[in-house]
């Protein structure tokens, strides 16, 4: 009886391992970029056209994003710069002018205390370039925005978060 119990346990273990191996083969992965070009937030970064007196009191804003396109020798017609807030769900897309190495996107509604902006280039056929992420954080004055490369598990953005997050891409005073 002891041998049959061990055989049953061994058989169940092998079936479990086989099941895990089969399931692992079905796990979805992020798509591999079709081309190696990407969009980056440049030194103009993220700005708010008409900011309130205090962004900490009113963190939900429509922002403008200015960026550079890096890695394409010959920019193809029909490329778009796509921005998605992976936390709040806002999405925007702007057609890139043929031959331009920059883009300007207006009116993306985000919460400056909790966001993760993912940017990429996309062809008219839906093929993607490299994806890059940024967090928009309210600066320590409460009046400007810092674009920080990358996103964290918790992107809640108290003003002191700007100093804690790596490599600030740009610091902006609001336009008046």
Structural domains of the chain ordered from first start = 38-172 (2.60.40)
- pTM score: 0.68
What average pLDDT does the segment 13-18 reach? 42
The residue among 77, 80, 106 whose CA lies nearest residue 94 is 80
Lowest mean pLDDT, pick from 1-15, 131-145, 156-170 = 156-170
pLDDT at position 172 is 33
pLDDT tens-digit readout, 52-108: 888 999 999 999 999 998 887 665 678 999 999 999 999 999 999 888 888 999 999
What average pLDDT does the segment 12-26 reach? 39
What average pLDDT does the segment 140-166 reach? 66
24: which 2 tokens? Answer: 């692992």
pLDDT at position 19 is 41
Residue 154 has pLDDT above 80, yes or no: no
What average pLDDT does the segment 103-130 reach? 94
- Are 41 and 151 within 8 A, CB to CB? no
Report d(CA 60, CA 10) in Å as an integer: 57
Q: What residues pair up with 41 in beta bridges, in sequence order?
A: 67
The residue among 134, 75, 127, 132 whose CA lies nearest residue 101 is 75
What average pLDDT does the segment 131-151 reach? 92
């Amino acid at each position: 009886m002891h041998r049959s119990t061990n055989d049953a346990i061994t058989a169940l273990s092998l079936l479990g391992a086989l099941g895990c191996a089969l399931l692992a083969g079905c796990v979805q992965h992020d798509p591999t970029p079709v081309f190696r070009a990407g969009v980056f937030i440049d030194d103009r970064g993220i700005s708010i056209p008409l900011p309130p007196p205090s962004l900490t009191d009113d963190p939900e804003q429509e922002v403008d994003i200015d960026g550079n396109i890096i890695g394409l020798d010959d920019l193809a017609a029909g490329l778009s710069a796509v921005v998605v807030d992976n936390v709040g769900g806002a999405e925007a897309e702007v057609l890139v002018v043929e031959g331009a190495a920059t883009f300007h996107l207006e009116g993306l509604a985000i919460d400056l205390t909790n966001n993760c902006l993912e940017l990429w280039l996309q062809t008219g056929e839906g093929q993607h370039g490299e994806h890059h992420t940024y967090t928009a954080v309210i600066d320590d004055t409460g009046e400007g925005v810092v674009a920080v490369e990358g996103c964290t598990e918790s992107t809640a953005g108290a003003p002191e978060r700007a100093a804690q997050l790596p490599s600030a891409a740009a610091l902006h005073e609001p336009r008046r």
